[in-house]
């Protein structure tokens, strides 16, 4: 990233800033990660240790019991595979549809653009609610299909607006020269605009993927067939009980052990965190110069 | 990773403000071009009609006493009853005040912090360090509010929490931060910052990654310091993104989120913790009163639309790009 | 230019709406058999187990055989059950039989609009011997203004008790508390007299978590108030029903509670403690008294056993509800946890309804109850000579799943006929016996909520918010944020926010009965 040039023009003040900045951000990073480590430690600790030690980042005695009780069932494995596939396919579909719509909207001279943008903004602010959405999904025959897990929220108005704005900021010359060379708009999008927009596309791929991965409302409402359930739906039983009602407290069924709750958090988070570096790669690659050359 | 040589060799590609040059085109060519654009937009438009606008016929239950079994058509029409109930509610002024204060704190403190963090991250030169810190600051986004709130409880526990001890030591008090109404908003703000600042930088970092590196090179040659480069190159480059994010945020001003506030509220701080979203939960969702909660949602949406259009108009007046 | 700008989006809208109408025209009611015999029966039920049963579940297959119909269950995680119920009621392929968790607005309005079968007469006919309730007053309480829309899921009527650290009592040479005054004294001694003998001032008496419900949601405070004679949510005052918190006894009770708080005989985080961690201070030797359900005593004993199986029988004392200054009043539960209601859109004819009731009757036979609670006899469990349940180690997990899922369809209105596991030790047996004894004894002085069957319009819509007003005021009073005048003001606010309407509606229906 042209770092050699930077160093050549380094000043003392600049170096001081660098040191402070590194220290500051390392501190921020630690602050962000410590609670996660706490949850990780809790997921590996015995229930007795969790109830008797208030805060720890390393358990005295390591046990994988909490994980064993989540991971042991076949249903979990199936749900995991389902979720990975649905997230992958769903993200592609959602990102594709969003980019496809964002591109024409980035053309300021397009007739009707303003009207459509207003409709998009209104849809962003107002959502009709659960029951009407359920009825629509039902009418379209999507109940108990995997489509119901990503089609109903295929284009996030917020993402659409941001992506549209990114497209709008791209230099128009490249696109125009492509058009002059005889490319149609779809080809311009594919060969000129998308390669230039890798950082933003990677970002929204992550947004969409996390959205599908963490969603439990859609499977809850649209899937009554348990064999199609996703990971969050299975894990919900454990995570949701944090918001106890009076009846839950009085129930004969004791709340799930703390260790299992922690393990669930880890199991649900780690795959997304692991996927992240693959996307991060594209954040730097999207730079203008590289793209123009390539 | 482009080297200096690459940069020099690259053709000049300055990014001017996006004023599309209006060239002479024949009508036929323009229509051909629009045909493609409309065709590309079609799936998206169909999506919006199907999944965003079709369900909106359900919004009419705000004017009805909706019974799921009777259906939307079959339920009794009651006109503006739910709206008058909501606006004449004795708690309404308090709900509005609490909601606005929390939203304002988010907008004035958390939002700028996100930009600052993004800029600082951008200044990190060691790629490995930059990537690591980036990944670390995203992690809080993935922890649920339940986890965040229970951790807050641990840290501020009366008598045992490390932060309880430290803060009371500094102030020479024995405040219970978790129940003291004066501390409710600072705690909410603190949690919001911790959980969402890092994740929020993503969009700005994406914008920063698109900034033309050549401008930096030129600035360095001109002897511009780091601060000047940030002020004259980086900030202007991400200004459109900042403006858009700001506009979108104002539209969300009445949505404080439910889970965090619900989990942090208790009998002793409810006077400052009651917001529209928790109110709707107690009156609407928990009781299954859908008409009422839809009426509240509709009112909020109207305010949101007005705010978005208003700020967008303002942005345009100041020659910013706006969202449409 | 102007027309073209408008024309394009309009054209798009037109295309879109064509698609729309094409889609909406395509769907139809594919609901199953109209009239005729039922061959399959769809249930909807919450589950508590880690995962729901699979389609090929052994209990499911055995149930089909036992009931003679093809039973299909839609499982929903318990925490999300309410939401799912509301959405399902809005659709048109509603399950035939639904577990309804409570009399909330969507259920009551659906029932009153004719969405569920009124079972009152069918159940009273005696045609279904296993659906004749053991406790008719519980069936009454589960009704909507006297109309029975479902077969209730029976729960123990007396569950509240006082759980005390037995070893601390012994260290201090104290007796188990019997009255509310004793409670104050034990709480004082646990706080001030170093009950664990470690020479440090690091203990307190009562442990109370943040309570998520309103007044009358079986909180420790509600128990104390009932012991004082404030009634149970409502109190019959000369033929008229008044809310418990308007009685002088309630005031005395909250003053008693405030004394505990002011003296520091309670955990300092009583307003914020996460209820999921209620056991921890008791286990860690920080606090020594919990007022909650009896099953928590067994839970605590089990946790102590994990820690040290030799001394665990010295830690937990299960104590009866306390006598107040005005006599002995025992706080009962509602006696039910939701009910199984039969939908009219699923079950269309009276013939079919009778078939469904036959199936429910079968579920309540000893065979049915054991199948859905314990699993398959001789296969996943056996019964020993003394009539105790024996679950082989490799089936323990499966048995747990059955109990957390299929058992949710259990009603047991005519008595619980399931096999129980043999208590592992003498102490466990003692605890179990004591629970039974307290349950029998408590019935004599139980104070039932006189308004339980009554459904008031206003409390349907405002109830949650109203309940919060007084529950908050109570804690604010305990914390010293408000005084007696503040409590009066809260009651006034409650009245104005809809409370007066609730009182009127409840009394109108009470007199009419």
Has residue C277 got a pLDDT over 90?
no
Domains annotated for chain C, with CATH where assigned, are: 40-155+335-409 (3.40.190.10), 160-331+428-452 (3.40.190.10)
| Minimum-distance CB partner of C55 among A135, A227, A234 | A227
**In this structure, are strands C97-100 and C40-47 parallel, antiparallel, or unpaired?**
parallel
Residue range(s) defining the domain that contains residue B120: 90-317
Domain A71-293 classified CATH 1.10.3720.10? yes
Every domain of chain A and the residues it spans: 1-63, 71-293
pLDDT band for C382, please (50, 70, 90 cuts). very high
pLDDT band for B20, please (50, 70, 90 cuts). very low
- For residue range A119-143, what is the model confidence (pLDDT) as tens digits? 999 898 888 778 889 999 999 999 9
- Contact call for A101 and B290, based on CB within 8 A: no
pLDDT for the residue numbered A240:
60
Has residue A184 got a pLDDT over 90?
no
Q: Which residue of B has its CA nearest to A174?
A: B13
Nearest partner of C102 among C246, C213, C236, judged by Cα: C213
- Contact call for A140 and C50, based on CB within 8 A: no
* CB < 8 Å to A151, chain B: 47, 51
User: What does the alpha-carbon distance between residue C152 and residue C481 come to, in Å, rounded to a whole number?
Assistant: 41
Distances (CA, A) of A33 to A50, A57, A273, B253, C510: 19, 11, 12, 29, 59
CA neighbours within 13 Å on the CB side: how many for C444? 8
User: What does the alpha-carbon distance between residue C491 and residue C499 come to, in Å, rounded to a whole number?
Assistant: 9
- For residue range A29-70, what is the model confidence (pLDDT) as tens digits? 999 999 899 999 999 998 878 877 777 889 998 988 888 878
C109 touches chain B (CB under 8 A): yes
A44 touches chain B (CB under 8 A): no
C342 bridge partner residues: C97
pLDDT for the residue numbered A3:
44
pLDDT for the residue numbered C16:
41
Q: Which residue of B89, B287, B290, B296 is the best one to mutate when testing the C interface, meaning the one whose CB has the most C CBs within 10 A?
A: B287
Residue that wins the pLDDT comparison between C119 and C5: C119
User: What does the alpha-carbon distance between residue C432 and residue C440 come to, in Å, rounded to a whole number?
Assistant: 13
B67 touches chain C (CB under 8 A): yes
Distances (CA, A) of A192 to A187, A189, B13, B34: 8, 6, 14, 18
- Contact call for B288 and C105, based on CB within 8 A: yes
Distances (CA, A) of C80 to A7, A216, A218: 57, 10, 12
Contact A261, A254 (CB under 8 A): no
Mean pLDDT across chain B: 85
* CB < 8 Å to A253, chain C: 48, 404
C493 touches chain B (CB under 8 A): yes
Residue that wins the pLDDT comparison between C177 and A198: C177
| Minimum-distance CB partner of B287 among C17, C89, C464 | C464
**In this structure, are strands C287-293 and C204-206 parallel, antiparallel, or unpaired?**
parallel
- For residue range C500-512, what is the model confidence (pLDDT) as tens digits? 999 999 999 998 7
User: What does the alpha-carbon distance between residue A148 and residue A217 come to, in Å, rounded to a whole number?
Assistant: 11
pLDDT band for C157, please (50, 70, 90 cuts). very high
**In this structure, are strands C234-237 and C240-243 parallel, antiparallel, or unpaired?**
antiparallel
Nearest partner of A125 among B187, C203, B305, C326, judged by Cα: B305
User: What does the alpha-carbon distance between residue A234 and residue C89 come to, in Å, rounded to a whole number?
Assistant: 23
The alpha carbon of residue B13 is apart from the nearest alpha carbon of chain A, in Å, by 8
- Contact call for B321 and A14, based on CB within 8 A: no
User: What does the alpha-carbon distance between residue C30 and residue A203 come to, in Å, rounded to a whole number?
Assistant: 43
- Contact call for A252 and C306, based on CB within 8 A: no
pLDDT for the residue numbered C489:
96
C54 touches chain A (CB under 8 A): yes
A window 65-94, beta carbon within 8 A of B = none
The alpha carbon of residue C469 is apart from the nearest alpha carbon of chain B, in Å, by 9
* CB < 8 Å to B245, chain A: 162
Residue with structure tokens 């928990």?
B286
- Contact call for C284 and A51, based on CB within 8 A: yes
Query: How many folded domains does chain B comprise?
Result: 1
- Contact call for A111 and C293, based on CB within 8 A: no
Contact B232, B313 (CB under 8 A): no
- Contact call for A22 and B148, based on CB within 8 A: no
C70 bridge partner residues: C40
* A96-100, B174-178, C25-29, C133-137: the lowest-pLDDT one: C25-29
C438 touches chain B (CB under 8 A): no
* CB < 8 Å to A138, chain C: 27, 91
Q: Which residues of B256-267 are buried (b: 16+ CB within 10 A; e: fewer)?
A: bbbbbbbbbbbb
pLDDT for the residue numbered B285:
66
CATH of the domain at B180: 1.10.3720.10
- DSSP letter, residue A189: I
Most confident of A4-8, A222-226, B178-182: B178-182
Has residue B19 got a pLDDT over 80?
no
- List all chains that touch chain A, counting a touch as 3 or more CB pairs closer than 8 Å: B, C
Which residues have a Cβ under 8 Å from the Cβ of B185 and sit 6 or more positions away?
A: B101, B102, B105, B272
Rounded mean pLDDT of A198-206? Answer: 89
| B13 belongs to a structural domain | no
In the three-class reduction of DSSP (H, G, I as helix; E, B as strand; rest coil), residue C151 is classed as strand
User: What does the alpha-carbon distance between residue A231 and residue A76 come to, in Å, rounded to a whole number?
Assistant: 7
| B26 belongs to a structural domain | no
The number of C-beta contacts closer than 8 angstroms across B and C is 108
Which residues have a Cβ under 8 Å from the Cβ of A154 and sit 6 or more positions away?
A: A93, A94, A97, A98, B47, B51
C20 touches chain B (CB under 8 A): yes
Please list the alpha-helical segments (H only) found in C312-425.
350-363, 366-374, 396-404
C window 204-263, beta carbon within 8 A of A = 209, 211-213, 217-219
Contact C74, C43 (CB under 8 A): yes
User: What does the alpha-carbon distance between residue A275 and residue A289 come to, in Å, rounded to a whole number?
Assistant: 27
Three-point CA angle C326, C327, C331, nearest 5°: 105
pLDDT for the residue numbered A18:
87
Cα distance from N-terminal residue to C-terminal residue, chain B: 35
Give B298-303's long-range contacts (Cβ < 8 A, gap of 24+): B298/A126, B298/B59, B298/B62, B299/B83, B299/B86, B299/B87, B300/B254, B300/B255, B300/B276, B301/A122, B301/A125, B301/A126, B303/B253, B303/B254
pLDDT for the residue numbered A69:
78
- List all chains that touch chain C, counting a touch as 3 or more CB pairs closer than 8 Å: A, B
Residue that wins the pLDDT comparison between A73 and B233: B233
- For residue range C195-244, what is the model confidence (pLDDT) as tens digits? 999 999 999 999 999 998 888 889 999 999 999 999 999 999 999 999 99
A window 184-243, beta carbon within 8 A of B = 184-186, 189, 196-197, 199-200, 202-203, 206-207, 210, 239, 242-243
C12 touches chain B (CB under 8 A): yes
User: What does the alpha-carbon distance between residue C421 and residue C387 come to, in Å, rounded to a whole number?
Assistant: 9
Q: Please give the helix or strand (H or E) that residue C440 lies within, else none.
A: helix C426-444
| Minimum-distance CB partner of B49 among C16, C471, C496 | C16
pLDDT for the residue numbered A177:
85
- Contact call for C404 and A253, based on CB within 8 A: yes
Write the DSSP assignment of A38-61 as a string of letters: HHHHHHTS-HHHHHH-S--SS-SS
- Contact call for B179 and C271, based on CB within 8 A: yes
Rounded mean pLDDT of B29-44? Answer: 87
- Read off the tokens for A87: 């997230």
- Contact call for C79 and A240, based on CB within 8 A: yes
Three-point CA angle A105, A108, A109, nearest 5°: 110
pLDDT band for A268, please (50, 70, 90 cuts). confident
* CB < 8 Å to A70, chain C: 50
C15 touches chain B (CB under 8 A): yes
Contact A89, C66 (CB under 8 A): no
Contact C2, B28 (CB under 8 A): no
| B183 belongs to a structural domain | yes
pLDDT for the residue numbered C6:
39
* CB < 8 Å to C460, chain B: 287
Has residue B5 got a pLDDT over 50?
no
Q: Which residue of C77, C221, C335 is the best one to mutate when testing the A interface, meaning the one whose CB has the most A CBs within 10 A?
A: C77
| Minimum-distance CB partner of C105 among B266, B279, B287 | B287
Please list the alpha-helical segments (H only) found in chain B.
4-9, 27-47, 71-74, 81-87, 92-105, 111-123, 127-142, 145-155, 162-171, 181-209, 213-221, 226-229, 235-251, 259-264, 270-273, 276-280, 290-317
Has residue B80 got a pLDDT over 50?
yes
pLDDT over 70 percentage in chain A: 88
């Amino acid at each position: 990233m042209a770092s050699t040039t930077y160093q050549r023009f380094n000043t003392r003040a600049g170096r001081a800033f660098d040191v402070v900045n590194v220290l500051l951000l390392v501190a921020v990073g630690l602050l962000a990660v410590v609670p996660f480590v706490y949850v990780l430690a809790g997921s590996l600790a015995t229930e007795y240790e969790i109830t008797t030690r208030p805060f720890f980042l390393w358990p005295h005695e390591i046990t994988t019991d909490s994980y064993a009780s989540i991971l042991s069932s076949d249903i979990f494995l199936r749900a995991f595979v389902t979720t990975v596939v649905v997230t992958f396919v769903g993200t592609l579909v959602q990102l594709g549809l969003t980019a496809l719509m964002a591109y024409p909207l980035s053309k300021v001279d397009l007739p009707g653009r303003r009207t459509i943008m207003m409709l998009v903004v209104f849809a962003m602010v107002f959502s009709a609610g659960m029951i009407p959405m359920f009825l629509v999904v039902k009418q379209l025959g999507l109940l108990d299909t995997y489509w119901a897990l990503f089609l109903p929220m295929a284009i996030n108005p917020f993402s659409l607006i941001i992506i549209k704005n990114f497209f709008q900021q791209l230099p128009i010359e490249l696109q125009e020269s492509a058009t002059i060379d005889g490319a149609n708009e779809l080809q311009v999008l594919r060969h000129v605009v998308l390669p230039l927009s890798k950082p933003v596309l990677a970002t929204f791929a992550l947004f969409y993927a996390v959205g599908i991965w963490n969603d439990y409302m859609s499977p809850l409402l649209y899937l009554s067939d348990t064999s199609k359930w996703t990971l969050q739906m299975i894990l919900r039983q454990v995570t949701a009980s944090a918001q106890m009602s009076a009846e839950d407290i009085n129930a004969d069924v004791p709340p799930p052990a703390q260790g299992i709750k922690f393990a669930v958090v880890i199991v649900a988070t780690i795959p997304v965190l692991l996927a992240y570096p693959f996307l991060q790669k594209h954040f730097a690659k999207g730079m203008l110069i590289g793209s123009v050359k390539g | 990773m482009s080297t200096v040589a690459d940069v020099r060799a690259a053709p000049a590609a300055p990014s001017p403000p996006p004023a599309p040059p209006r060239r002479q085109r024949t009508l036929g060519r323009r229509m051909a071009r629009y045909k493609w654009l409309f065709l590309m937009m079609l799936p998206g438009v169909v999506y919006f009609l199907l999944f965003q606008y079709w369900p909106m016929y359900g919004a009419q239950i705000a004017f009805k006493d909706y019974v799921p079994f009777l259906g939307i058509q079959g339920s009794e029409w009651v006109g503006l009853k739910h709206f008058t109930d909501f606006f004449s509610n004795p708690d309404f002024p308090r709900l509005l005040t609490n909601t606005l204060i929390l939203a304002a704190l988010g907008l004035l403190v958390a939002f700028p912090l996100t930009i600052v963090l993004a800029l600082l991250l951008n200044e990190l030169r060691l790629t490995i360090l930059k990537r690591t810190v980036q990944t670390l600051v995203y992690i809080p986004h993935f922890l649920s509010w339940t986890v965040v709130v229970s951790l807050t409880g641990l840290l501020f526990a009366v008598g045992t929490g490390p932060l309880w001890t430290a803060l009371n030591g500094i102030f020479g008090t024995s405040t219970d931060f978790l129940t003291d109404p004066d501390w409710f908003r600072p705690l909410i703000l603190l949690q919001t910052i911790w959980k969402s600042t890092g994740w929020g930088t993503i969009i700005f970092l994406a914008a920063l990654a698109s900034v033309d590196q050549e401008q930096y090179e030129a600035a360095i040659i001109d002897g511009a310091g780091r601060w000047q480069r940030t002020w004259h190159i980086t900030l202007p480059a991400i200004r459109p993104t900042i403006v858009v994010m700001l506009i979108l945020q104002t539209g969300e001003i009445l949505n404080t989120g439910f889970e965090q506030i619900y989990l942090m509220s208790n009998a002793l701080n409810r006077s400052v913790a009651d917001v529209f979203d928790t109110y709707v939960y107690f009156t609407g969702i928990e009781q299954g009163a859908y008409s009422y909660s839809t009426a509240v949602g509709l009112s909020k949406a109207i305010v949101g639309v007005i705010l978005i259009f208003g700020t967008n108009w303002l942005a345009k007046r100041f020659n910013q790009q706006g969202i449409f | 230019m102007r027309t073209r700008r408008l024309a394009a989006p309009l054209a798009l809208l037109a295309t879109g709406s064509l698609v729309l109408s094409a889609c909406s025209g395509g769907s139809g009611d594919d609901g199953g058999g109209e009239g005729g015999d039922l061959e399959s029966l769809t249930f909807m039920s919450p589950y508590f187990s880690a995962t729901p049963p699979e389609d090929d579940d052994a209990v499911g297959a055995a149930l089909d055989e036992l009931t003679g119909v093809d039973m299909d269950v839609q499982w929903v995680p318990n925490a999300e059950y309410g939401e799912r119920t509301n959405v399902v009621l809005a659709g048109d392929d509603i399950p035939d039989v639904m577990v309804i968790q409570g009399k909330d607005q969507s259920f009551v309005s659906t029932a009153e609009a004719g969405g569920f079968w009124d079972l009152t007469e069918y159940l009273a006919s005696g045609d279904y011997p296993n659906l004749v309730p053991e406790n008719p007053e519980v069936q009454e309480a589960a009704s909507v203004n006297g109309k029975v829309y479902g077969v209730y899921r029976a729960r123990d009527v007396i569950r509240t008790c006082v759980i005390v650290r037995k070893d601390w009592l012994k260290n201090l040479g104290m007796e188990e508390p019997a009255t509310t005054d004793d409670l104050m004294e034990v709480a004082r001694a646990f706080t001030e007299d170093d009950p664990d003998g470690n020479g440090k001032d690091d203990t307190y008496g009562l442990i109370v978590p943040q309570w998520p419900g309103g007044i009358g949601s079986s909180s420790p405070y509600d128990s104390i108030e009932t012991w004082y004679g404030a009634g149970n949510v409502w109190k019959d005052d000369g033929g008229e029903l008044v809310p418990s918190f308007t009685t002088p006894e309630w005031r005395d009770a909250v003053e008693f509670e405030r004394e505990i708080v002011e003296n520091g005989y309670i955990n300092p985080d009583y307003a914020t403690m996460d209820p999921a961690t209620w056991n921890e201070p008791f286990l860690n030797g920080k606090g020594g008294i919990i007022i909650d359900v009896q099953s928590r005593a067994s839970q605590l004993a089990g946790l102590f056993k994990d820690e040290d199986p030799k001394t665990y029988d010295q830690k937990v004392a299960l104590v009866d509800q306390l006598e107040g200054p005005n006599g002995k009043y025992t706080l009962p539960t509602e006696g039910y946890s939701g009910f199984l209601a039969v939908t009219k859109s699923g079950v269309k004819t009276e013939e079919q309804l009778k078939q469904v009731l036959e199936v429910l009757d079968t579920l309540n036979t000893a065979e049915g109850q054991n199948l859905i609670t314990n699993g398959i006899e001789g296969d996943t469990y056996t019964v020993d000579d003394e009539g105790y349940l024996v679950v082989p180690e490799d089936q323990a997990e499966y048995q747990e799943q059955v109990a957390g899922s299929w058992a949710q369809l259990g009603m047991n209105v005519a008595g619980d006929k399931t096999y129980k596991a043999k208590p592992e030790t003498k102490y466990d047996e003692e605890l179990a016996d004591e629970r039974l004894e307290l349950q029998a004894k408590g019935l004599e002085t139980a104070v039932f909520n006189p308004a339980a069957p009554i459904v008031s319009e206003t409390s349907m819509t405002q109830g949650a918010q109203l309940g919060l007003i007084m529950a908050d005021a109570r804690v604010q009073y305990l914390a010293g944020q408000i005084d007696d005048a503040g409590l009066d003001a809260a009651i006034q606010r409650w009245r104005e926010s809809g409370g007066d309407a609730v009182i009127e509606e409840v009394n109108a229906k009470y007199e009419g009965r």
